[in-house]
Amino acid sequence: MDIHEHQAKAILAEFGVPVPRGHLAFSPEQAAYACRQLGGSTCVVKAQIHSGGRGEAGGVKLCRSEDEVRSYARGLLGRTLVTRQTGAAGKVVHRLWIEEATDIAQEIYLGFVLDRKSERIMIVASGHGGMEIEQLAETDPGSLVRMVIDPAAGLVEFQARELAFKLGLKGKQVAQFVTTLRACYRAYRDLDAMMVEINPLAITGAGDLVALDAKMSFDTNALYRRPQVEALRDPSQEDPREAMAHDNGLAYVGLDGDIGCIINGAGLAMATMDMIKLAGGEPANFLDIGGGASPERVVTAFRTVLADANVGVILVNIFAGINRCDWIAKGVVQAYQEVGLSIPVVVRLSGTNVEEGREIIRTSGLPLLSAETLAEAAKLAVRARPQPVAAE
């Protein structure tokens, strides 16, 4: 789960990271008032969307008066920002962060990520901040410094000082960097984060460190024990399909294909998508319906998949252990009747009560396509897709 810049800054500030003063605004008038509270002169107006590259897309501007803030906010609120991370659809700006301007002498990149190879938290830093880490890796790979944290010891001070020296920091900056680094690590660890990024971590003209931008993302599987984090979720910034699935307790990731998938188990879902690709098709989603799915839950899964207008056929692939094939079959029939399906549905059932489930499908009187193997089901789904009309 991602959160907004101002939310990430608030969290990091609680752990001890220095951040500039700022105020949230939902209207041009609130933006102008926020500027007045910050001194009424120069301030930075930032669009709050879940994406990087906002400045390049016109979502960040240095304004020098309340009137300029008001005018810029009026043109920005409600606008769809398209960045290199949002895709062509972009994201709509519903809120702004009005922040005091900072005298910047140098910019540093600082990120905490999960390194799956070492199974440790890794720090990635560079003395050249303000750029995307991917660009840094291409244009100046030598500037990147990586450090792995031992989970038994945590981030110890000598490691933080060593990193500060590698970045060329001196004097009081070293102590400030150690404080910032350890604060970021505690926030990452204590809140089940997946990523903490400060870009840039600025050195001001006075020689102090301050976080001018911040990003945080969190492990959705741990949100049940972090209600204060889950409360920061902004559904308006999410894929509508994924937001709908989240609200119904389904594991869903939207893709670009036209074959909707309803599967139980993440591994089986991945295998199903691979098989669809091998058969010449494109999956429209990853959807894990979970164990113990009732007919009502199956109906909800159908509604979620059908929220994607690109879906032209649905493939239901269930290997029932905790689940029961007869429950799934009843759910498929119920969904067909309640939702008013008009697209082909391929059903492949295996496992507990498989014969009962197949009998329900067979005697339903509905135009359901039944398959016994995954390969057969994938081929049926690909053949059942609506064929594009040839250009004249």
Q: Report the chain's mean pLDDT, rounded to a whole number.
A: 89
Give the pLDDT confidence score for residue 272 in this predicted structure: 94
Same domain, residue pair 332 and 357: yes
Query: Is the Cα torsion angle 270, 275, 280, 285 positive or negative in sign?
Result: negative
Structure tokens at 220: 């959705």
Residues 6+ apart with CB under 8 A from 392: none
Active site residues: 109, 197
| CB 81 within 8 Å of CB 59 | yes
Give the pLDDT confidence score for residue 390 in this predicted structure: 41
Binding residues for ATP: 46, 53-55, 99, 102, 107
Residue 127 located in a structural domain: yes
Same domain, residue pair 248 and 355: yes
CA distances from 351 to 156, 328, 373 (A): 51, 11, 12
Mean per-residue pLDDT, 150-155: 92
Give the pLDDT confidence score for residue 293 in this predicted structure: 63
Same domain, residue pair 61 and 91: yes
- Residue closest to 247 by CA, chosen among 262, 264, 260, 230: 230
Does residue 140 carry a pLDDT above 90?
no
Tell me the pLDDT band of 392, cut-offs 50, 70 and 90: very low
- Residue closest to 301 by CA, chosen among 317, 325, 322, 280: 317
Same domain, residue pair 148 and 219: yes
Residue 306 located in a structural domain: yes
Same domain, residue pair 5 and 131: yes
Per residue in 189-247, pLDDT tens? 999 999 999 999 999 999 999 999 999 999 988 999 999 999 999 988 887 777 777 77
Q: Provide the CATH number for the domain around residue 246.
A: 3.40.50.261
Residue 389 located in a structural domain: no
Question: How many separate domains does the chain show?
Answer: 3
Q: Count helices and strands (H / E) in the chain.
A: 13, 18
Mean per-residue pLDDT, 12-18: 97
Does residue 388 carry a pLDDT above 70?
no
Residue 392 located in a structural domain: no
Does residue 387 carry a pLDDT above 70?
no
| CB 301 within 8 Å of CB 314 | no
Same domain, residue pair 96 and 187: no
Q: Provide the CATH number for the domain around residue 83.
A: 3.30.1490.20
| CB 272 within 8 Å of CB 261 | yes
CA distances from 88 to 82, 83, 91, 144, 240 (A): 6, 8, 9, 30, 15
First to last CA, the chain: 46
Per residue in 322-376, pLDDT tens? 778 888 888 888 888 888 788 899 999 888 888 889 999 888 888 888 888 999 9
| CB 121 within 8 Å of CB 105 | no
Last-in-domain residue among 101, 123, 151: 101
Give the pLDDT confidence score for residue 341 in this predicted structure: 82
Per residue in 254-299, pLDDT tens? 888 999 999 988 899 999 999 999 999 999 999 888 766 677 788 8
Give the pLDDT confidence score for residue 112 in this predicted structure: 96
| CB 382 within 8 Å of CB 276 | yes
Last-in-domain residue among 81, 101, 121: 101
- Packing angle, helices 295-306 and 240-247, rounded to 10: 170
- Residue closest to 366 by CA, chosen among 326, 346, 336, 386: 336
Residues of the domain holding 174: 1-19+103-235
| CB 73 within 8 Å of CB 44 | no
Same domain, residue pair 251 and 316: yes
Residue 201 located in a structural domain: yes
Same domain, residue pair 255 and 349: yes
Same domain, residue pair 248 and 117: no
Long-range contacts of 130-134 (CB under 8 A, 24+ apart): 130/199, 130/200, 131/199, 132/52, 132/53, 133/109, 133/197, 133/199
Distance CA 65, CA 336 (A): 59
Same domain, residue pair 186 and 70: no
Residue 69 located in a structural domain: yes
Does residue 321 carry a pLDDT above 80?
no
Same domain, residue pair 91 and 148: no
- With 0-12 CB in 10 A as exposed, 13-18 as middle and 19+ as buried, what is 273? buried
Same domain, residue pair 134 and 230: yes
Binding residues for substrate: 264
Give the 3-state secondary structure of residue 354: helix
* 108 bridge partner residues: 201
| Of residues 103 and 307, more confidently modeled | 103
Q: Please name the helix (run of DSSP H) or strand (run of DSSP E) that holds residue 347, with its range, or none.
A: strand 345-351
Last-in-domain residue among 206, 235, 264: 235
Q: Provide the CATH number for the domain around residue 212.
A: 3.30.470.20
Does residue 386 carry a pLDDT above 50?
yes
Per residue in 105-127, pLDDT tens? 999 999 999 999 999 999 999 98
Distance CA 68, CA 45 (A): 10
| CB 19 within 8 Å of CB 13 | yes
Residue 183 located in a structural domain: yes
- Residue closest to 41 by CA, chosen among 63, 19, 71: 63
Residue 157 located in a structural domain: yes
| CB 42 within 8 Å of CB 101 | yes
